Amino acid sequence: MKLNLSKKLEKALNEQVRMETESAYIYNGMRLFFKEKGLPGATSWMTHQAHEELKHAEDFIDMILDLDGHVVLGELKEPTTEYKSILDVFEAGLAHEKEISSSILELLDLALEEKNYAVENFLRTYVDEQVEEEDHFRGVIDMVKMAGDDPAALFKVDGILAKRD
């Protein structure tokens, strides 16, 4: 049974570490947008999301190290803090999560191709994680759309977002 990493798989997993870390950076940009707009609930929701992404990056790092691989921390792009609206932020977040999901599925294809069952098992938990992540963003998008331009309704949505644990 193959438990170590091929160079190809190691490189692809390191790219995922970079992407997860970059996700935290992107969500920090969104958090700053909300903070400046005076939306404490949305700020807190996005802060939580940024922390989650760092945990994901840590998980991938641990998995590479557990399989005797070498971790390389890649370069991060500067994230924007400019958005048109609350809806724009969450739609951008969902689009980003879809990219992450595609990347995880490509990694899973590679692990299967290489018959690396340890990595396959690990990645399957991340397929489930991505279903949840996309669902979280979709749920918020639905609420924000329902609130529309009504400040009272948006205030309520912000209160709901503050309750994320």
Burial classification of residue 111, based on how many CB atoms lie within 10 Å of its CB (0-12 exposed, 13-18 middle, 19 or more buried): buried
| Position among 13, 14, 20, 147 found at the interface with ligand FEO (CB under 6 A) | 20
CA 58: distance to chain centroid?
A: 13
With tokens 């005797």, the residue in question is 68
In the complex with ligand FEO, the residue whose CB is nearer, 91 or 97, is: 97
Nearest Cα neighbor of 17 from 114, 138, 122 is 122
CB 61, min distance to ligand FEO, A: 13
Asked if 133 is part of the footprint of ligand FEO (rule: CB under 6 A), the reply reads yes
Contact 34, 43 (CB under 8 A): yes
In the complex with ligand FEO, the residue whose CB is nearer, 92 or 153, is: 92
Measured in degrees and rounded to the nearest 5, phi and psi for residue 164 equal: -60, 130
Asked if 91 is part of the footprint of ligand FEO (rule: CB under 6 A), the reply reads no
Asked if 56 is part of the footprint of ligand FEO (rule: CB under 6 A), the reply reads yes
Asked if 23 is part of the footprint of ligand FEO (rule: CB under 6 A), the reply reads yes
CB 55, min distance to ligand FEO, A: 8
- Number of residues forming the site for ligand FEO (CB under 6 A): 7
In the complex with ligand FEO, the residue whose CB is nearer, 53 or 158, is: 53
Asked if 22 is part of the footprint of ligand FEO (rule: CB under 6 A), the reply reads no
Q: From CA 98, how far away is CA 121, in angstroms rounded?
A: 21
CA 102: distance to chain centroid?
A: 12
> For residue 95, what are the CA distances in angstroms to 51, 87, 114?
19, 12, 29
In the complex with ligand FEO, the residue whose CB is nearer, 6 or 103, is: 103
Summarize as ranges the residues that interact with ligand FEO (CB under 6 A).
20, 23, 53, 56, 97, 100, 133
